[in-house]
Structure formats: C-alpha cells, structure tokens
A and B are shown apart, each in its own frame.
Chain A
Amino acid sequence: MLFFTWPFAAFFAVFYPVYLISRRSVLSRNLVFIVASYFFYGWWNVHFLALLAFTTSLDYLTALGAAGRLLDRRQLAKSCGFLLLVSGIGFALNGLRQPELLLLPPFAACVLFALATSLLNRVEATQKRARLWLQLSIVVNLAVLAFFKYVNFFGESLDQAFSALGVHLGFVALNIVLPLGISFHTFQSIGRTVDTYRGKLEPSTGFIEFAAFLSYFPQILAGPIERAGHMLPQFRTIPPITWALIRSGAMLFLWGLAKKIVVADNLAAMANPIFAHPDRFTSGELTVALLAFTFQIYCDFSGYTDMARGLAKIMGFDLRLNFNLPYFARTPSEFWRRWHISLSEWLRDYLYISLGGNRGSKLMMYRNLMLTMLLGGLWHGAAWTFVMWGFLHGAVQVVYRILGIDDRLKRVDDGSVRGLLANVGAWAVFMPIVCVTWAYFRAETMAQANQMLAGIARLESMASGAWSSLAFYVVPLFLIECGLRFAPLRGAYIRAPFVVRYTGVVALLFAVMVLTSPTGQDFIYFDF
C-alpha cells in the first residue's frame, strides 16, 4: 500500500478517526497502531505477517535478556501468544492454506524461545547471560535477513567462483520473495537489543508498546531506522496533536509526495531507458541520465521519508530527520551525516564502533571504515554493484581522512572569500564522485555501470541530452529544499502574507496533479 495510492487514502481515512478516539488511553492507542500497521503490512502479502511478529517476539525477549534480566513465563507467554495469534490470522487470511509455511515455523519459534529462556536463565553470570541473549538476537535476526536477502546472491557467487576452478556446485537459485522493509525493521530491532545490552536503554516489559513501535506503519517499509530511545517514549505517552502540527505534517507529506511522483518518477523516465542501453547514447545523454538518477534517488527516498514524517506528525509523533541537503556536502563524512542519516548513524553506532571505530591505529580505523561501508553497500542489496558502491564510498572516505580534507576545510571556513572558494571547490570535487558511485548503485551489472562511465568520459556531444528537462525538475527542487532547510528563507515564507503562502501550497498541489509522471515507479528503497 503506497502512500500515494487510493487504497492508502481510504485506509488512512478510516484509521485516523479511530486513532483519535483511541487516544484516550495509551494501551488502546497502541493496540490500534498494531492492528492498523499489521493490516498495512499484510495488504502487500499476508505471508509475512508472521515474520514481522517473529522479529517482534524474538527481540522483546532478547532485549530483556540482553539487559541481564531473568525471563519469566509471563514474558514468554506474551511473545508466543502474539506470534501465534498473528500467524493464525495470517493463516486464516490466506484461506487456511500453507500451514507448513504459516503455522509450523511460528510453533517452532515458540519452542526455540522456550528452550532459549530455559537454557539462558540457568546461566548465573549476568554479563554472560546478557551477551548470550544479544548474540541470539543478532544471529537469528541476521540469519533471517541473510536467508531472504542473500542466499541466492552468495549461492550464485560461490557457484560462479567454483565454476571458474572447474568445480560445479550445482547451486539452484531459490524462489524467495524479499519481505518488504525487512532490512529496516531488522536493524531497528537489533539496535534496540544492543542499546539495552550497552545499558543505554531500559528495556520495557510492555510488549504492546514494543510491538507498536516495531510495526509503526509510516516507517515500517523504508525507515527512517528509528532508535528505541527516541521512539519508545512516544509510545508510552499520548503526544498532543495541534492544528499547527497537522498543518505542518500535511505540508511535509505533500512536499514528499511531490518529490516522489513529480520529480523522482519523471527523472526515472529520463534515466531508465538510457541506463538500459548505455551503448546507444552520447556522453551528454549519459551524463543527463546519471544526474537524473542522482536526483531521482534522492527525491524517491527523501520523498518517502518526508511522507512518513508528515504522517507521523499528523498523529502527533516525531520521526527523525533522514536527509539534510546531502548534495550540499563537501566531503564524504559530511555526506554521510546528511544522507540516509538513520542508516549512517546505525552503521556508525552498531558496526563501526563495534569493530573498534577510531580506537586503535590509523590502519585499523581505515579497515573499520572500509568494512562498514562495504557492509553498508551490501545492506542495500545482494549484488556486486552495491558492494562496489560501498567500496567506492569507503575508499573515498579513507582518502579524505588520509588527506585530512575535513580538518583543512574547518580551518579555512571562516566566512571569508577564501573559505567560500574552498567550500565551493571541495563541493565541486566531491559531487562528481558521488555521481560516479550512483552509476554502480543504479546499474544492473558492473559492466553496465562501467559502460555508462566510459561513455561519459568520452565527453562527446555533451550538449545533447535532455538538459532542459533535467533543469525543469531539479532547479525548483533545489530552491524549495533550500527554502525548507535554511531558517532565514523558512522564516521569510512563514512571515509572508497569507495569499503568498496559500499560493505556495496551491502551486504544490497543482504540481502533484499536473506534473505527475505517467509511468509511476515503486519506491527504490522498498527493494532493500
């Protein structure tokens, strides 16, 4: 159920009044969230309702265990009861078919939970017990993620590698459907368990609030990857809803919608045919396609995030900022503080720091950076192109660290003309690098990306290509994003006469109605 479709509009029109009524108590509100979110998720495929419930049940227990607590039967019963209830509903919605897929695994999971509780409760050393629970959470969550996302990739890659040596493994690709949003909610769930293990978060014994948090429908499919420390408190209170909040949420949603269906989808229509056959196009056309994708992916993903944040605002909730003008970044480290912030910070806090972070020698730091970026690339998808994308970002970060570019920029960034020139120069060097990495991110194969970049490097017929069409979408995007982010511009808009603000909203509405791409695209990040 995409945010910009009629089914979602109908869903939200029914949900919102019920939600407002349910706000009389935290429990009823959270129960409404769970029902609505599972309905939202199950609309796509009822088969995976049980998987979401499994992650919820598992991490409810592991977070408690990772905090060093001894688990009791009540907590176990809550977990298993919820898992079996959701599985039963999924089974019923599936026409009572496929019990081996929809009922057997949840029962087996409950046995696993009981066994783990029984065994780990016997471990007397609290620290050891907590670590074992943490390991259980990480291993099981990553195993589930690996099964759905990476089995075919690694199987096929191994098969190809051995084939080159004359050994045929005979790997047969499995017909696996990737559950929507699995990478997002798995990371969110692991993050919470790690936080409780590290003592940063007090685990709650409230199952309902955790289930509502993990399945929260505005962000379940493509993030932001929320931190339990930021979100769970919101599920423990009834946040106020004001007209100002609703207005601001609706505007954010509308802007996200425009970014997605007007800018991203139209740019996709420009980029897709060229990426499909890079050999048929001139350097100019290839450059336009690469730039079109550069802005497409930004508008696609940040558009989704804005819509999610807007919806959450309308409900009185606050989702974190996920993008902060990333294409204004002058260095890779700045880029990753602005692009997909929730993932970058997750990778930093749970992977980079766990690997040793900045501690240890410089060589170790570079290794940690590379590993983090490589795994970050692989997180996006099971393909060598994503690994290459991660590798390039890692390599660029290492080079910038070695050269100390960030420190140099800080030293000259004093508001002087020299500082301004240095910033512009750094940006002008770094942005093309970002664009080059997007070629690997977008291409179906490494060869296609290489062909694309080689074609651009020929620098022939650079004037050809739909430069004006690109500018038609990118220039207004640039102006509006600046207006939204830079406080003086935002303030000027807020202080402007009513008719000006009204016209701004009407212009956005007309853009959504009139400029929508005839060829709609799914959200790119739904594939991850």
Chain B
Amino acid sequence: MTRAASILRKTAIVVALALWTLVFGEIFLRVAAPQALMPRYVTGTPYGIRGNVPGAVYRHDTPDVNVEYRINRQGMRDDRVFAEAKPAGTCRIAMLGDSYFVGYELDLRDTIARRIEEGLRARGYRVEVLNFAVSGFGTAENLIAYRKAARRFRPDLVLMQWQVTDYDDNVRSGLFALKDGALVQINDRFLPGVATQDRLMKSALYRLLADHSHLYNFAREAIGWRAKQLLAFVRKRQAGPAGGAEVEQNSYMISPAQVRLAAALLAEAKAEVERDGARMMVVDIPNRTPERVFSSSYDLMPAELKRALPPVSALALFRAAMKRGEGPLFYPHGARHLTPEGAALLSGETIRRIEASGALAGCHGRAGQTVQAGLATIPRTGV
C-alpha cells in the first residue's frame, strides 16, 4: 500500500469512527436518556439585546410535554398582533421576563400571560396582556426591553418577572453596573452567540438538528450552561469585589454586589414605569430546589426594595399544594419550567394582587360586556 493510500485509509477510518460515534450517541441518548428538545428561536433586535424571532413557529419536545410556539411578527408569544395605540377603555399589562413568562413547556392557553388576561377579563376587566418575555433575560434586559419595546404600547401595569438566575444574568450581560452607588448603563449590546445562531439557522441541516437531535440538544445545553457560568464568573470578577460573603441559592453563589445591582435595576425600572404613569409589580418565581421545599431568592433583596416593590409571591400556595400532595408544580425533566398547575397558582396570586392594588380599576366594567368589548379590540391578524 502506498503512503498516500495508507493515509487515506486511516483518514477514512477516523471519519467513519467519528460518524459512528455521533450516530451511536444519538441512539444512546434516545434510548437511555431522552433529552428535552428545546431549540431557542432568538435573534438580535435593533436595540442591542435578544428578541424572539418574529413569525417563528417551533416546538419543544421534552419527556414531559410537546408544545408548539408561535411568535407573532412583533416578537411576542401570541397569536395576535397588537396596535401601538391602546384601544379606548382597555388597560394594558406588559410582561417582561424570561422563559417562565414566555411560557416554556406550556401551551399558549396555559401561559401565565394568557391566564392573567383571561382571569382578569372574567372578573370584568377590559385588559390586554402583551408578553415581551424572551428566554434568558435578566432584569437588565427586561429594563431595556421596557424602554425600547414595551413602553410604546403604553402599558398601565408592568409585570416584571424575578427569579434566582437574574442575579447572575444581570452581571453576565454587562449592560449595567453600579458606579459610586448609582446605576449606570455601561454597554448597549448583549447578544451572546446570536450572530452564530443567526448564521446557523439559515442552514436547514442545523434546524433539523436543533429541532430533532437529542445529541445536539444535549451538547448545546451542556456547553451553553458552562459558557454561561464561565461568563458570569468572569463578569463577577470584573465587576469588582463581592462586598461580602456569597450566599448559595439553587446552586448559584450570590454576592452582595449582585444583590445591590439587581435591586438598583428593579428600583430604576419601577421609577421609569411610574414616570410613564404606570405601575410595576415584581412576580417572584419560587426556587424549585431543594425539591418539595421552595424558597424565594427575592428574600435576599434589601428591605427598602422589598417595601417599595413587594413581590407577587405564590410561595405559600406552592407549599400548601405540595403538602396536599397536588401534582408537580415544576416539570421534573427538560428545563423544568412551571407545569400548568404551577402557572395557575402563580397567575391566580398575580390576579389577586392586581385587583387588590387597584392598578386597573379604570378598566373595570361588568364582566359580560367587558370581555366582549375586550375581544373586539384585538385584531385577529394571525402571526
């Protein structure tokens, strides 16, 4: 055998083994550890942060659920398109958050946004809920999304999601920092991996892998998770001293500096929303670990912020439901988001708090009339 033929043969063997490894890996995962197939249809927005791909239709297939997502042309998870001008007599709620508010692993009818809207309408409110949530967002991106996307729809109430990952997300994005105690925007762009993702999404093969390959989804989640952790670690160090001992919550190490940044972002968001004549509420997603216990990462916030922005917390309801042995409130597999039962509890508590606050009192009428009126204002133009 000539030298060239030998090299060719060895190369062919290596390539064949590599291919076999991938094929075997796919088979192994499908048999032994089916993965949650959760492709992320996010892209860059003109205002420098991520947004849902307008008009995207995709599915998430996990061991627990198979859910279809339809993103409207405004980048919201909704089957409607909203006019910028608010319909007369109708109140608007803008929802800002991450995958929990997007409604990952939930059918559209089960999402928190849709439940709040329907719940309030059933109670006689003329209301529209506009969902600006994007998977992976922290408070910093929520604030920018409010400024650049939600504000022009003139919401009467802003519901901003809070959960433990926000402490890391706010540092990782590097959009804001505290300088001499004041919140300063230090960057206007945070588009992690978006350029690569946009390029890849043009390939039909990539979309096929993203939508259907267990091996690809496993690798993406594993690499993405480590990359996120590394970026958070680096940015935390760059942000300066932690300012005290770190606290562990849900396997996140949270420093006092992260708490101060998060509190400043929420306070700023509240101030801006109120300057626009609206109100803001924070909806706290309970920590799901340790299993069956539940806790709140919002507890770490300074007392003055908790007084100014008391969170909508369903912690007591979650604990009571667990005690009663009611079904799981978070899915056990996949990305372990809220189940319809969990979303129902959180939505119910949010509705209760909205009613108690009187924030939408001006849009309250008799139930039958208002629901009809409310529906009439929504142009059903599809996505």
Write the residues of chain A forming the contact surface with B, with a CB cutoff of 8 angstroms. Answer: 273, 499, 502-503, 506-507, 510-511, 513-515
Across the interface, A510 reaches (CB within 8 A) one of B20, B25, B291, namely B25
Interface SS, B side: helix
- A506–B32 Cα distance when bound, in Å, is 14
Q: Is A514 a contact partner of B21 (Cβ separation < 8 A)?
A: no
Q: Are B17 and A510 in contact (CB under 8 A)?
A: no
Bound: A370/B20 CA distance, A = 56
A515–B25 Cα distance when bound, in Å, is: 12
Of A499, A503, A510, A515, the most chain B CB neighbours within 10 A belong to A510
- Evaluate contact between B24 and A514: CB separation under 8 angstroms: no
Shortest A262–chain B CB gap in Å is: 10
Q: Is B28 an interface residue (CB 8 A)?
A: yes
B218 at the interface (CB under 8 A from A): yes
Out of B21, B32, B218, B291, which one reaches A511, CB within 8 Å? B32
Give residues 12-36 of B contacting A (CB, 8 Å). 17, 20-21, 24-25, 28-29, 32-33
**Distance between B155 CB and nearest chain A CB, rounded to angstroms:** 38
Q: Which residue of chain A has the shortest Cβ distance to B214 in the bound complex?
A: A514
Of residues B20, B33, B291, which shows the largest number of chain A Cβ atoms within 10 Å of its Cβ? B33
Q: Does B17 lie within 8 Å of A502, measured CB to CB? A: yes
Q: How far is the CB of B147 from chain A (nearest CB, A)?
A: 37
> Would you call A515 and B33 a contact (CB within 8 A)?
yes
- Chain B, residue nearest A507 (CB): B28
Q: What is the total of A-B residue contacts with beta carbons within 8 Å?
A: 27
Could you say which residues of chain A place their CB within 8 Å of the CB of B291? Answer: 273
Given A506-B24, A506-B25, A514 and B17 touching (CB < 8 A)?
no
Chain B residues engaging chain A, CB cutoff 8 angstroms: 17, 20-21, 24-25, 28-29, 32-33, 218, 222, 291
A510 — which chain B residues lie within 8 A by C-beta? Answer: 24-25, 28-29, 32
Q: How far is the CB of B188 from chain A (nearest CB, A)?
A: 35
8 closest Cβ pairs, A-B complex: A514-B33, A510-B28, A506-B21, A510-B25, A515-B33, A506-B24, A503-B24, A514-B29
Which residues in B have their C-beta under 8 angstroms from that of A273? Answer: 291
A266 shortest CB reach to chain B, Å: 11
Neighbouring A residues of B32 by C-beta, 8 Å: 510-511, 514-515
- CB contacts (< 8 Å) of B222 on chain A: these are 513
Specify which chain B residues have a CB less than 8 angstroms from the CB of A515 in the assembled complex.
Answer: 32-33
* Residues in A neighbouring B218, C-beta threshold 8 A: 513-514
Whole-angstrom distance between the Cβ of B62 and the nearest chain A Cβ? 15
CB of B145 to closest CB in A, whole Å: 31
Interchain residue pairs with CB less than 8 A apart (17): A273-B291, A502-B17, A502-B20, A506-B21, A506-B24, A507-B24, A507-B28, A510-B24, A510-B29, A511-B28, A513-B218, A513-B222, A514-B29, A514-B32, A514-B33, A514-B218, A515-B33
Smallest distance from the beta carbon of A53 to chain B beta carbons, Å?
A: 33
Tell me the minimal C-beta distance from A499 to chain B in angstroms: 7
- Asked whether A514 lies within 8 Å of B28 as measured between CB atoms, the reply is yes
Q: How far is the CB of A338 from chain B (nearest CB, A)?
A: 29
- The docked-state distance in angstroms from the alpha carbon of A503 to that of B32 is 15
B73 → A minimal CB distance (Å): 38
The interface residues of chain B lying within 8 Å CB-to-CB of A503 are: 20, 24
Task: For the complex formed, measure the closest distance between the CB of B224 and the CB atoms of chain A, giving whole angstroms.
Answer: 15
Residues from chain B with Cβ under 8 Å of A507 in the complex: 24, 28
Closest to B35 in A: A514
B121 to chain A, nearest CB (A): 40
A511 vs B29: C-alpha distance when bound (angstroms) = 9
**A499–B29 contact, CB under 8 A?**
no
Apart from A502-B17, A511-B32, A513-B218, list 17 A-B contacts with CB within 8 A.
A273-B291, A499-B20, A503-B20, A503-B24, A506-B21, A506-B24, A507-B24, A507-B28, A510-B25, A510-B32, A511-B28, A514-B28, A514-B29, A514-B32, A514-B218, A515-B32, A515-B33
Bound complex: CA of A510 vs CA of B32, how far in Å?
10
Within the assembled complex, what's the spacing in Å between the Cα atoms of A273 and B291? 10
Inter-chain CA distance A363–B21, complex, in Å, is 62
Whole-angstrom distance between the Cβ of B235 and the nearest chain A Cβ: 20
Q: Given the complex of chains A and B, what is the CA–CA distance between A511 and B32 in angstroms?
A: 8
Contacts of A513 in B (CB 8 A): 218, 222
Report B-chain residues with C-beta under 8 Å of the C-beta of A511: 28, 32
Residue in chain B with minimal CB distance to A503: B24
Q: Separation in Å of the B313 CB from the closest CB of chain A?
A: 25
Instruction: Write out the residue numbers on chain A whose beta carbons fall within 8 Å of the beta carbon of B20.
Output: 499, 502-503
CA distance A510 to B21 in the complex (A): 10
Among A273, A507, A514, which residue has the most Cβ atoms of chain B within 10 A? A514
- Residue of B with least CB distance to A472: B32
Smallest Cβ distance from B126 to chain A, in angstroms? 45
* Closest A residue, CB atoms, query B219: A513
Q: How far is the CB of B29 from chain A (nearest CB, A)?
A: 6
Alpha-carbon gap, A503 to B222, bound state (A): 22
Closest approach, in angstroms, between the C-beta of B288 and any C-beta of chain A?
12
Q: Which residues of B contact A502 (CB under 8 A)?
A: 17, 20
Which residues of chain A come closer than 8 Å to B29, judged between CB atoms? 510, 514
Q: B292 — nearest CB in chain A belongs to which residue?
A: A273
Residues of chain A lying within 8 A (CB to CB) of residue B17: 502
Rounded to whole angstroms, the CA-CA distance of A507 and B291 in the bound complex is: 30
Report the Cα distance A185→B32, complex, angstroms: 40
